[in-house]
Amino acid sequence: MKKFTLAFAAFVVAATSALAAQADVLTPAFGRTIDLAGVNGVAYYTVKKEGFHVVATLANPESQSVRFEAVLAPGQSVIVSSPNAYGEAPTKVEISRQNDDVHVERLPVTN
């Protein structure tokens, strides 16, 4: 299952453009790569009756993949993060819904 998930994530990444580090607007069902310092993956969303269903699938070569899901209403956001070395701030990506757009932005590292 891990190989299928990673292959699917690679397909989605190949089907989408690699986007810059600033806030990017997602298009429904088309993903964006996420790099969380050693944990990588893809995020996408679909439009549902109850809100925008956001899915992020992340993994590194040595671990099982992890999927994060959330339903966002306008003005809501979630942060996906990965710890770094002891004493270092985690690497974070914010996924937010602003009206009818979903934005993905890597947050600055702060301690």
Instruction: Tell me, letter by letter, the H, E, C secondary structure of the chain.
Output: CHHHHHHHHHHHHHHCCCCCCCCEEEECCECEEEECCCCEEEEEEEEECCEEEEEEEEECCCCCCEEEEEEECCCCEEEEEECCCCCCCCEEEEEEEECCEEEEEEECCCC
Q: What is the pTM of this model?
A: 0.74
pLDDT at position 49 is 94
The low-confidence residues of the chain, meaning pLDDT below 70, are: 1-22, 111
pLDDT at position 51 is 95
pLDDT at position 48 is 94
